[in-house]
Amino acid sequence: MENKSNNRPAPAPRVFSGVQPTGNLHLGNYLGAIRNFVTLQETYDCLYCVVDLHAITVWQEPSVLARHTREVTAAFLACGIDPKTQIIFNQSAVPAHAELAWVFNCVARMGWLGRMTQFKDKAGKHQQNASVGLFAYPNLMAADILAYKSTHVPVGEDQKQHLELCRDIAQKFNNDFDAPDFFPLPEPLIQGPATRVMSLRDGAVKMSKSDKSDNARINLNDNADLIAKKIRKAKTDPRPLPESEEEATTRPEADNLIGIYAALARQSRGDVIQQFAGRSFAAFKNELSDLAVAVLAPIGEEMSRLMAAPDHVDDVLRDGALRAAAIATPIMDDVKRIIGFVR
């Protein structure tokens, strides 16, 4: 493979993505990200990371952080990521992440980070009280990706801006240190009909781990009854299902449920609309609920099984961290040489 613009060989493809161990893994995390992780392992070498350093940018109770770290790992395994062929690990176990993040703290500009909408949303009106880590969060994320010279990053829509920043950081590092193409410019992979799953209670806000209402999201460890109840209670408008994609885009709650159905059934939105056009939400919700239970309940059950005796989960993380470090260490050696650190 060649990079056409400069005849230098294109970097070897490598996938990296991360999920925060902050509890309440939900349908958005699954459809927007984790399910795509599973598909990509057929084609790429992949690293899937439980980003515990990111989690502590806001307060985490230590024992709860440990449980949530194992829970995300269990979710990766339950969804079908193969820990033998791919690398599953937690971020804090590989020092390269924090080391490279420091370097990027000195490459990225304050103005770049100040524009990050996620920081503004999370810090809200209390920016002076936010941790420095929350502000510098995207630099650590760039370090996660670039410590492995990753080329592809599967994420939900909400991470797009962070990935653009990652590319800016890679480019500035390469320019500043006159190291053309040292870091690749990673491509976001934002795929499928549910890249931004919305709350079940309000079609204008994203489904999120931190929503106060548990009814706003379907958690990966919800049982069949709870999944069905939450879908039954999901907010809709009083009209029957939309007749066209154009109409759906004007009706956020309907559009969200159609997107969820399409993603779970591996169909396009258009096909789902055709199938259900003009039908009642009650009928649609029954079918959606059966589908969601069929896909999600086995995942929840496998997560519970893994969490009941987490030795296997811990082994996967330990083995993954060793293999991840073996990739990152020589890259960090080059970074240090390029910067001029005496070694």
Q: Which residues bind ligand TYM (CB under 6 A)?
A: 16-20, 28-29, 32-33, 51, 54, 141, 144-145, 153, 155-156, 158-159, 162, 195-197, 206-207
Shortest gap between Cβ of 156 and ligand TYM (angstroms)? Answer: 2
Q: Which helix (H) or strand (E) holds 229?
A: helix 224-233
Taking the C-alpha atoms of residue 24 and residue 78, their distance in angstroms, rounded to an integer, is 15
Task: Specify the residue, 141 or 227, whose C-beta has the smaller distance to ligand TYM.
Answer: 141
| Cα 11 versus chain centre, distance | 23
Q: Give the CB-nearest residue to ligand TYM.
A: 32
Contact 141/97 with Cβ under 8 angstroms?
A: no
Task: Specify the residue, 213 or 274, whose C-beta has the smaller distance to ligand TYM.
Answer: 213
The question of whether 209 is a catalytic residue gets the answer yes
The question of whether 160 is a catalytic residue gets the answer no
For 25, other C-beta atoms within 10 Å of its C-beta total 26
Task: Specify the residue, 208 or 236, whose C-beta has the smaller distance to ligand TYM.
Answer: 208
The residues with which 26 forms a beta bridge, in sequence order, are 219
Shortest gap between Cβ of 209 and ligand TYM (angstroms)? Answer: 7
Q: Which of 131, 112, 118, 120 is nearest to 169 (CA)?
A: 112
Task: Specify the residue, 11 or 240, whose C-beta has the smaller distance to ligand TYM.
Answer: 11
Shortest gap between Cβ of 279 and ligand TYM (angstroms)? Answer: 25
323 contacts: CB under 8 Å, gap ≥ 6: 87, 89
Shortest gap between Cβ of 114 and ligand TYM (angstroms)? Answer: 17
Task: Specify the residue, 13 or 240, whose C-beta has the smaller distance to ligand TYM.
Answer: 13
Task: Specify the residue, 9 or 152, whose C-beta has the smaller distance to ligand TYM.
Answer: 152
What does R_g of the chain's alpha carbons equal in angstroms? 21
Shortest gap between Cβ of 179 and ligand TYM (angstroms)? Answer: 22
3-state SS of the chain: helix, strand, coil percent to 5?
55, 10, 35
Shortest gap between Cβ of 37 and ligand TYM (angstroms)? Answer: 9
The question of whether 230 is a catalytic residue gets the answer no
Contact 31/198 with Cβ under 8 angstroms?
A: no
Strands 187-189 and 46-50: unpaired
234 contacts: CB under 8 Å, gap ≥ 6: 200, 201, 253, 257, 285
Taking the C-alpha atoms of residue 327 and residue 335, their distance in angstroms, rounded to an integer, is 13
Of 209, 229, 235, 336, which one is the catalytic site residue?
A: 209
Of 149, 206, 230, 285, which one is the catalytic site residue?
A: 206
Contact 119/113 with Cβ under 8 angstroms?
A: yes
Positions annotated as catalytic residues are: 122, 206, 209
